[in-house]
Structure 1
């Protein structure tokens, strides 16, 4: 934020900033009524990394690790409705955890396996990352990067003031388990906001 709204120069001197950093966000879950009863969406978000950050490659691998853990903790028919992403921008973006179509059992598996989001998310972030988890997640990230149009990568170097396409590719190749664990440890200490979009079915609300 200081990059865009900090002190600035005038011809006769330097003008100090007139803003302060915002307070930490409230972490208590907020609920918004859904237009469709009985099903909803849950988003949990924390401060992520910028596109030019040295942590950017590690953040993408970390997202894959956390996503795999959350999918494993979810009913089999709901796993495709779970995703984790680091939305990086010029300024630090958001690390977002998404659960979709919650509250509506699609099969006996969903009905039998109740998901407690306030339990599985801290566990997904809290357990140490194994070498096998890291290797699988890194393979996915590198495979996705190969599919990105080279022109897009070249434009990114100018948009986000990166050193070069090769330098960033080398950073992805060199990212280590220690780098990813350090990012997750940092993320775990970052305030995470939660928003639930949900309206109970009338028959459930009456019981």
Structure 2
């Protein structure tokens, strides 16, 4: 068994914290996990990428076009991170939009989705802004997106939502635990109703979210 996950975002969004939480869940489950941060502890608003490899793996880096999942905590960063995604893999895109400062050639939200939807991949867009507004805490982006990731069947089999909730409660507290649960439920709902789902014609739904509500 091997699962490769690339997480991307900007400094201050908790990309590295998200990988640490995944690592702790793996430890509790007795799973081998290796992780690597490729762009350093970027200054606030700078790009950050982290690789997490679970199972029969040794080296921490993920090659382009080989990740099973890409989790983008910010929309523009999704355009950078998608290069790691394998053909017909899933990219999970947060609707948080933070254009790089000083640039006048940044694609809009709509353009980001249009560009990604032309690729031979599967995509789900998570309304993290709604979760932030409901919890009144902008720091929960990473846990909301982790919850969405945990809704997928092959992920939930090895990283169950109940174990993840316990880990997040212990490491980050109750607000982040609720964000995790909300991201999980939203991803399940979106896959059921098709809202925010984009699938290339060359791909199938071979990896669907779990029906286990946790």
- Please say whether Structure 1 and Structure 2 have the same fold, judged by a TM-score greater than 0.5: no
Per the normalisation by structure 2, the TM-score is: 0.28
Ranked by relative contact order (alpha carbons within 8 Å, sequence separation 6 or more), the top structure is 1
